[in-house]
Chains A and B, each alone.
Chain A
Amino acid sequence: DQQVKQNSPSLSVQEGRISILNCDYTNSMFDYFLWYKKYPAEGPTFLISISSIKDKNEDGRFTVFLNKSAKHLSLHIVPSQPGDSAVYFCAASPRWGKFQFGAGTQVVVTP
């Protein structure tokens, strides 16, 4: 039973617009969340994290929002660039890092 769900397998967005990726989780013990980006034939690279004591974390063009009551987090990419075309995974863990990953969302940024 998947405890972390990314219900949109793909997202197409125009260059310069906002990309919004969503992630839902079921385990109320999760309190640390990560977003990773993955290009084909490469390992995932870390993008941004958030812990349950916060509801927002920003790093440049990337912002992650956490809604604990809804068990929902989202990643906003503003503005989207062609190099952002990749698969994005969200991951969640309880205090000690045994992470559960979602199925991923393929983002395509079009000119």
Chain B
Amino acid sequence: DVKVTQSSRYLVKRTGEKVFLECVQDMDHENMFWYRQDPGLGLRLIYFSYDVKMKEKGDIPEGYSVSREKKERFSLILESASTNQTSMYLCASSSTIGPLMNRLFFGSGTQLSVL
């Protein structure tokens, strides 16, 4: 079974803090993604990475950056947290080959509250 692990289930941070959300997958997937989920808006793509050290902006990258130094790990960084970044953050991975190609596997999510 594919496992995508997000380091924290719940986080509370202060406005202006730098926040790191970590995600690790154990299936050697090439692609990794960060989404945020907000009521009425569904899942919106923040950033994705299709290889180590490669990244592309998604639909809502403002205020975020990412890091992928190793294939299994994809980090989302909030440079200076703001209250409008309070959300559920979901990491996902997918493979580019095989019978499960392009199927997204999600972590359990991190509920981030910025006060």
Q: Which residues of A contact B (CB under 8 A)?
A: 2, 4, 6, 9, 32, 34, 36, 41-46, 49, 89, 91, 93, 96-104
Assess whether B4 is in contact with A89, with CB atoms less than 8 Å apart.
no
Nearest neighbor of A42 in chain B, beta-carbon distance: B108
Assess whether A102 is in contact with B103, with CB atoms less than 8 Å apart.
no
Neighbouring B residues of A93 by C-beta, 8 Å: 102
The 7 residue pairs across chains A and B that have the minimum distance between CB atoms: A43-B106, A97-B102, A101-B43, A103-B42, A101-B42, A43-B108, A44-B106
Assess whether B42 is in contact with A32, with CB atoms less than 8 Å apart.
no
Neighbouring A residues of B101 by C-beta, 8 Å: 97
With the chains together, A102 CA to B44 CA distance in Å? 9
Contact A42/B104 with A97-B94, A101-B44, A103-B41 known, Cβ cut-off 8 Å: no
Q: Within the complex, which residue of A46, A89, A96, A97 is in contact with B43, where a contact is CB–CB below 8 Å?
A: A89
Chain A nearest CB, measured from B88 CB (Å) = 9
Nearest neighbor of B103 in chain A, beta-carbon distance: A46
Contact A91/B104 with A9-B40, A99-B45, A101-B44 known, Cβ cut-off 8 Å: yes
Q: Which residues of B contact A (CB under 8 A)?
A: 4, 9, 31, 35, 40-45, 48, 58-59, 90, 92, 94, 96, 101-109, 111
Assess whether A41 is in contact with B40, with CB atoms less than 8 Å apart.
no
Nearest neighbor of B50 in chain A, beta-carbon distance: A96
Which of A41, A43, A101, A103 counts the most B-chain CB atoms under 10 A from its CB? A43
With the chains together, A46 CA to B99 CA distance in Å? 14
With the chains together, A77 CA to B90 CA distance in Å? 26
Chain B at the A interface: mostly helix, strand, loop or mixed?
A: strand
With the chains together, A93 CA to B33 CA distance in Å? 14
Assess whether B102 is in contact with A89, with CB atoms less than 8 Å apart.
no
With the chains together, A99 CA to B105 CA distance in Å? 12
Assess whether B111 is in contact with A41, with CB atoms less than 8 Å apart.
yes
Nearest neighbor of B48 in chain A, beta-carbon distance: A98
Contact A46/B42 with A97-B31, A98-B48 known, Cβ cut-off 8 Å: no
Assess whether A44 is in contact with B43, with CB atoms less than 8 Å apart.
yes
Assess whether B31 is in contact with A43, with CB atoms less than 8 Å apart.
no
Neighbouring A residues of B35 by C-beta, 8 Å: 101
Chain A nearest CB, measured from B19 CB (Å) = 19
